Structure 1
């Protein structure tokens, strides 16, 4: 089974590369992580639905120009099967602009194994309701870990 363990760890490498590319505002690096299919989709925290690689690139380019941010995963749940990994993550999105506080977001990442590499097929990000954000923060302060 070590082969499968490494297979799924590589999906985490793709997710970490995504976080790094977003923090750098590097659109080419972000887009290199997506599956090479037109069915790729991204539902942004603001509710925008980007369907297809061209739409995703255009939407993220605007986001990077207007408000680059860092994404900090606070709680990660992983569901994996051969060829597919789904991450359900509570994240803090911190804008580079000083007057914007962190935004708490629930994100789901669907990764597929394509030609020997893990690629992003879909992201769905939704703003976290204030009461849920408060629960995550309280659990982290008590040292229980988020959503323990």
Structure 2
């Protein structure tokens, strides 16, 4: 059993490395976190669909250049199996333009013994949902209560 506990801790390390790479504006570190396959995809919070590593790299490079941001995970739900981990995360995205609340789903797969991102889907929360979410956090209740 300890082997599995360590296995899924490594997936969390990949998620933390993603947040750090964005905060540091390090496109190389960010791209190292993606599985090296043609099927990778990213749906950005603004609705853009990026398929393949080159389009994902170009999309994140543009985002980092135009509007660097930091991400604070506020609520994380984890669904795991032996070869796949899915994180459903409510996040606060902060940049010079302000702050917005975003729901993001990260699908990670094992690739040569390491966890890599295979798909990312981000959706900006509507104001009403963001308000309800932050109210529940302030009251110390989980978002599913």
Output the TM-score relative to the length of structure 1. Answer: 0.95
What residue is the counterpart of 1:47 in the other structure? 47
Does residue 4 of the first structure (1) align with residue 4 of the second (2)? yes
Q: Corresponding residue for 2:68? A: 68
1:138 corresponds in structure 2 to 135
Match in the other structure for 2:111: 114
Going from structure 1 to structure 2, the CA distance change for 1:34 and 1:133 (only over 3 Å counts) comes to same
CA distance in 1, matches of 2:70, 2:50: 20
Cα displacement (A) at 1:147? 4.0
Cα 1:53/1:63, change in 2 over 3 Å: same
CA distance in 2, matches of 1:78, 1:108: 10
- Do the aligned partners of 1:86 and 1:109 also contact (CA within 8 Å) in 2? yes
Provide the rounded CA distance (Å) in 2 between the counterparts of 1:89 and 1:128: 12
Match of 1:125 in 2: 122
Distance, in Å, in 2 between the alignment partners of 1:141 and 1:5 is 31
Cα RMSD, aligned residues only: 0.9
C-alpha displacement at 1:46, in angstroms?
Answer: 0.4
CA offset digits 1:28-60 (Å, max 9, x no partner): 000000000011000000000000000000010
Equivalent residue runs for 1:77-96 within 5 Å: 77-95=77-95
TM-fit CA distance, 1:130: 1.3
Which ranges in structure 2 are unaligned for 5 or more consecutive residues?
A: none
Query: How far apart, in 2, do the equivalents of 1:84 and 1:146 lie?
Result: 24
Q: How far off is 1:75 after superposition? A: 0.5
Give secondary structure in 2 for the equivalent of 1:102. strand
